[in-house]
Structure 1
Amino acid sequence: IRVQLDLLEREAEKNNRDRNHGEAILLQTVARRKYLEKMDQEYASFSNTVKTILQSRETWRQHVMGPVGELIQVPSEYAAAIEVALGGSLSYVVTDTSESAGQIIRWLQSHRAGRTTFYPLDAIRGKIRDEEESRAASEKGICGIAEDLVSCSTEYRPLCSYLLGRVLVAETLEDALAAARRFRYRYRFVTLDGQVVNAGGSMTGGSLRKKENTFFGRKQEIQNLLEEEKRLQSAAEKLGEKDSRSRENLKKLTEKLSVCRREGQDCRMKRASLQGQYEGAERALAAKQDQYRRIREEEDELVKRRDRFQHLAETAEQSIRDMVQEGVSLDGQSFQIWDERCRSADQEVVELKIRLTREESQMDFCQTAAREAEETETAQTQLIKTLEERMKEAGTESERVQTRMAEMKAQFVREEEKWNSLSLKEQAIRGESDQFLSERQKVEKDWRQMQDASAARQKQIADREGRITAFKDQIARELERLNEWHMDEHEAESCRMEGSISEIQSYLSDTEGKIADLGSVNPNGEEEYQEVLKRRDFYQTQIEDLMQARKGLEAVIREIDATMDQQFRTAFQAVDQEFRRIVQIMFQGGQGKLILTDEKDVLQGGVEIFLQLPGKRQQPLTLLSGGERALAVIALLIAFLACRPAPFCFVDEIDAALDDANVERLSRMIAEYKKKTQFIVISHRKKTMEAADTLQGVTMGEKGVSSLITVRVEDYIKEA
């Protein structure tokens, strides 16, 4: 019972830790998902014009299918490439007909709500694919045509063909350049990391925004967070069920302790009853022994009396015989005296015989009584022996029960102390939980404020981007007006006159004459020009404000990148050291190391794994055999766990490519780290199963019905 209670205590503590950890992770996941969903619901990736259209309640809203990005589904590995390929088209609005698009454009004009591009489905036609484009898609390093890598409804397939039908996705920039040269730069190539080789030979590239700031990246992260929430909620439910089972087991152990107490009380009562029977039997035996002694004494007395009477009878008979012999010579008187003496002697002999017979009868009675007493004594002795044996058994049982009761009392005292300790811990944990809940509410409040501030900042940025777009449109219109006058900005500036008033007046007169020759003019042109200048100055001020805000954001981004770079380098060094140590253990020698592909920019670079096995030269991971790659990846996984242990690690048939010797080394390595991390291993290898503490298997005893079987190896070892 003590062992079981200890196990229940450890299990309760583990469940509490797991539950707190799971709740913390779940809260972080939910907060992150809600933040991203809020950004998605507020159309953070779109301009103000598109937001206005999507949030409108006008009658034409039913003819809006949505932005392009909302109508196609992109696999996560192609998200960056497709988003770069679509570019600004990602936020363009799709309508059912051209008439609907025209109606929305007129509404935007009347409400001065900005401008955007529309894709009417009745006017969009997909691009026809030629054989050369199909050959380009099958080139080495080319993933395929972008149109084929996305999915959408049938009605939007022409739109996908229109936007992505001439775009090919390549794995790397080198693959894209090689294919572009081979096909004379006829097609546009986009790499998986977002670098572009345009048709005609121009190239666009560099670093991309973080995934959370990209459209498809945010969609994919929301989906991943939803799946993570389901997994965490399922784990929380399992922990709740496990806690209920622990409480039920504790209740059963308490009931078992009560039963043991009742059994001890019954044993004490039974022992007292047997003690009373034993004392009664001893008293009865003493009485019988006293009675037997008295009978023996009477028997001895009777034997003595019988011997005396026999002696007297023999003496009397001898006297009679002597008297008879003497009587032969007696006379009559003497004979008469002799005859009287004879009769007296005969009478005395008869009396003696009667007394002898009576004494013999009494002696027989005493002998019978003595035999009965002996039999009774024998029976009493046997009864005493039986009672003594029962007393010994009862004493042994009583001692065992007392010992057990003492152990159980001591155990109960310890359990009460543990229970009190657990109660104190529970109170402390509840206090910490209340504090944690209070802190969590505060953190959630701060988080919501940060989300609101971030959303407001995003809205400000989007508004300013919209204003910049509007400013650019306004500037473009002003430049178009200058173009109508066949002038550019520099020419207009160069037209400013310098000199004396008379010279200017003379020039003005000549100019007026020329203007008169040209015909009528706009009388409000000068005022409009001044108004344009004012607007340009205003726009310039706005642009400077936006540039200052941009510089501030870039400084924050640089600071975050520097912190991430430092943390990554520290973690990388720790993992590299553990990886080197574990490789020597797993491969019984040899060397392994992790190398950064870009030492200057570790956040954008990658990591390569190199191994030098005993008797071999150094090779990268891709050139190793299947078993060697498996051991190397296992060593890297354990290195991660050594640097930052996780609550549990779930792996699926990682030992499939290993031989028995390597499986044994893997089992020893897992056994070494299982104190900090619980390993859940799916395996068909016997060596791996031998090292497990608990085996769980699924069997189908009945068709269509699966059963889960759990075996604790420790229990079977104890039974054996």
Structure 2
Amino acid sequence: EAKAKVDANEHATRSLEQQRNQVLEQINTIRESLMHKRLKSEGASVKRDGILEQLQQAKFELEEVLSKLPEDLSEEQCEQELEKLGNRIQRLGPINLAAIDEYAQQSERKVYLDKQNDDLVKALDTLENAIRKIDKETRTRFKETFDKINAGLQNLFPKVFGGGHAYLDMTGEDLLDTGVAIMARPPGKRNSTIHLLSGGEKAMTAIALVFSIFRLNPSPFCMLDEVDAPLDDANVGRYANLVKEMSESVQFIFITHNKITMEMANQLLGVTMHEPGVSRIVTVDIEEAAELAAM
């Protein structure tokens, strides 16, 4: 009977020991599961903090991002979308970490260049306005001057030739680019350009034109170098009379070998060579010479 009790106690002890071991195994399993869940929780916390930091760097609020997500969005959908984005990032290749700084530098340079461009556009507009004003003033003054010289030529030409007429003609419509042609008709000839005239007629026409310009804007003196060389005696006389008429307001200095021209001068300066290689200047006052000759 005692042995039976001992056996029963041993059996009960073994049974309790088995139950104890099972409980310990369950406790260990629960501990491992708890540890695993704790690690996952800590990992999730780290990820959460990382995501929050990224949102702050990107200047986004968590509530704002969550409000824009669909209500029925599942974790599986998020993982799929994340995988797609990861693949797209990989296809983009290596990330240039200096791109942000380079972009900032280029943006700053663009702002500077845009400002420079605006300044240049304003300056160009100012210059174009100034050019338009200058062109307008130039056209006005050119037309006024052209008309005055043309009127002077039409007045002097008959005096120089003893008749006929001449005028200036513009060869273009734009006053800034036009050329000017001289149309002349000496007495007894057809109207033509100056190129069809004889040498003497060209010289006389040029004299009329030059004196027309000279009358418009006279200077204290005028120098003429053998202008009368291609002229005959009749035209030399007309040329001399014109010079004498204008000498009332302008002092003329002219070089000539023509005796008709010399006769209307007040002073003569001659250059002679009595000895080889030695020039001598002879001055003659016409009035004094005439008085001496009359004595």
The 5 Å alignment of 1:35-74 reads none
Rounded to whole Å, the distance in 2 between the matches of 1:507 and 1:675 is 105
8 Å contact from structure 1 (residues 575, 640) kept in 2: yes
TM-superposed deviation, 1:558: 2.1
Show CA shifts across 1:235-294 (max 9, x none): xxxxxxxxxxxxxxxxxxxxxxxxxxxxxxxxxxxxxxxxxxxxxxxxxxxxxxxxxxxx
Change in 2 beyond 3 A, CA 1:518/1:551 = closer
Rounded to whole Å, the distance in 2 between the matches of 1:518 and 1:548 is 43
The 5 Å alignment of 1:53-202 reads none
Q: Which letter does structure 1 place at the counterpart of 2:90?
A: A
8 Å contact from structure 1 (residues 591, 612) kept in 2: yes
Rounded to whole Å, the distance in 1 between the matches of 2:210 and 2:69 is 86
In the TM superposition, structure 1's runs of 4+ consecutive aligned residues that sit over 6 Å from their partners are 506-509
Rounded to whole Å, the distance in 2 between the matches of 1:507 and 1:680 is 102
TM-superposed deviation, 1:581: 1.0
TM-superposed deviation, 1:555: 1.6
TM-superposed deviation, 1:514: 4.3
The match for 2:121 among 547, 556, 565 is 547
Change in 2 beyond 3 A, CA 1:620/1:509 = farther
The match for 1:613 among 186, 194, 197 is 186
Q: Secondary structure at the match of 1:696?
A: strand
Q: State the partner residue of 1:623.
A: 196
Q: State the partner residue of 2:146.
A: 572
8 Å contact from structure 1 (residues 580, 591) kept in 2: yes
Rounded to whole Å, the distance in 1 between the matches of 2:156 and 2:216 is 12
Change in 2 beyond 3 A, CA 1:516/1:642 = same
Rounded to whole Å, the distance in 1 between the matches of 2:159 and 2:82 is 94
Change in 2 beyond 3 A, CA 1:562/1:507 = farther
Rounded to whole Å, the distance in 2 between the matches of 1:508 and 1:597 is 80
The 5 Å alignment of 1:335-484 reads none
Q: State the partner residue of 2:130.
A: 556
Q: Secondary structure at the match of 1:715?
A: helix
Q: State the partner residue of 2:258.
A: 685
Q: State the partner residue of 1:535.
A: 109
Show CA shifts across 1:178-219 (max 9, x none): xxxxxxxxxxxxxxxxxxxxxxxxxxxxxxxxxxxxxxxxxx
Q: Which letter does structure 2 place at the counterpart of 1:645?
A: P
TM-superposed deviation, 1:563: 1.9
Rounded to whole Å, the distance in 2 between the matches of 1:626 and 1:507 is 99
Q: Secondary structure at the match of 1:589?
A: coil
Return 666-675 or 583-592, whichever deviates more: 583-592
Rounded to whole Å, the distance in 2 between the matches of 1:637 and 1:501 is 93
Rounded to whole Å, the distance in 2 between the matches of 1:501 and 1:629 is 98
Rounded to whole Å, the distance in 1 between the matches of 2:224 and 2:82 is 88
Change in 2 beyond 3 A, CA 1:511/1:557 = farther
Q: State the partner residue of 2:94.
A: 520
Bigger strand share: 2
Q: Secondary structure at the match of 1:699?
A: strand
Change in 2 beyond 3 A, CA 1:534/1:510 = farther
Change in 2 beyond 3 A, CA 1:658/1:537 = same
Rounded to whole Å, the distance in 2 between the matches of 1:518 and 1:615 is 94
The 5 Å alignment of 1:589-604 reads 589-599=163-173, 601-604=174-177
Q: Which letter does structure 1 place at the counterpart of 2:270?
A: G
Q: Secondary structure at the match of 1:604?
A: coil
Change in 2 beyond 3 A, CA 1:501/1:513 = farther
Asked if residue 695 in structure 1 is aligned to residue 247 in structure 2, the reply is: no
The match for 1:668 among 241, 261, 265 is 241
Asked if residue 582 in structure 1 is aligned to residue 147 in structure 2, the reply is: no
Q: Which letter does structure 2 place at the counterpart of 1:631?
A: M
Rounded to whole Å, the distance in 1 between the matches of 2:276 and 2:95 is 95
Show CA shifts across 1:88-142 (max 9, x none): xxxxxxxxxxxxxxxxxxxxxxxxxxxxxxxxxxxxxxxxxxxxxxxxxxxxxxx
Query: How many aligned positions are there?
Result: 217
Change in 2 beyond 3 A, CA 1:546/1:673 = same
Q: Secondary structure at the match of 2:248?
A: coil
Q: State the partner residue of 1:277.
A: none
Q: Secondary structure at the match of 2:274?
A: strand
Q: Which letter does structure 1 place at the counterpart of 2:183?
A: F
8 Å contact from structure 1 (residues 652, 681) kept in 2: yes
Rounded to whole Å, the distance in 2 between the matches of 1:501 and 1:533 is 33
8 Å contact from structure 1 (residues 515, 521) kept in 2: no
Show CA shifts across 1:212-239 (max 9, x none): xxxxxxxxxxxxxxxxxxxxxxxxxxxx
8 Å contact from structure 1 (residues 627, 658) kept in 2: yes
Q: Which letter does structure 2 place at the counterpart of 1:711?
A: V
TM-superposed deviation, 1:591: 1.2
TM-superposed deviation, 1:701: 2.0
Change in 2 beyond 3 A, CA 1:507/1:566 = farther
Sequence identity of aligned pairs in percent?
Answer: 39
TM, length-normalised to structure 2:
0.67
TM-superposed deviation, 1:511: 6.6
Q: Which letter does structure 2 place at the counterpart of 1:690?
A: E
Q: Which letter does structure 2 place at the counterpart of 1:700?
A: M
Show CA shifts across 1:435-478 (max 9, x none): xxxxxxxxxxxxxxxxxxxxxxxxxxxxxxxxxxxxxxxxxxxx
Change in 2 beyond 3 A, CA 1:508/1:653 = farther
Rounded to whole Å, the distance in 2 between the matches of 1:575 and 1:611 is 15
8 Å contact from structure 1 (residues 645, 677) kept in 2: yes
Q: Which letter does structure 1 place at the counterpart of 2:246?
A: Y
Rounded to whole Å, the distance in 2 between the matches of 1:709 and 1:565 is 50
Rounded to whole Å, the distance in 1 between the matches of 2:85 and 2:230 is 91
Q: State the partner residue of 2:224.
A: 651
Q: Secondary structure at the match of 1:552?
A: helix
Change in 2 beyond 3 A, CA 1:501/1:668 = farther
Rounded to whole Å, the distance in 2 between the matches of 1:584 and 1:703 is 46
Rounded to whole Å, the distance in 2 between the matches of 1:547 and 1:564 is 25
Change in 2 beyond 3 A, CA 1:715/1:537 = same
Can you give the 5+ residue segments of structure 1 that lack an aligned partner in the other structure?
A: 1-499
Asked if residue 715 in structure 1 is aligned to residue 293 in structure 2, the reply is: no
Bigger helix share: 1
TM, length-normalised to structure 1:
0.29
Change in 2 beyond 3 A, CA 1:526/1:507 = farther
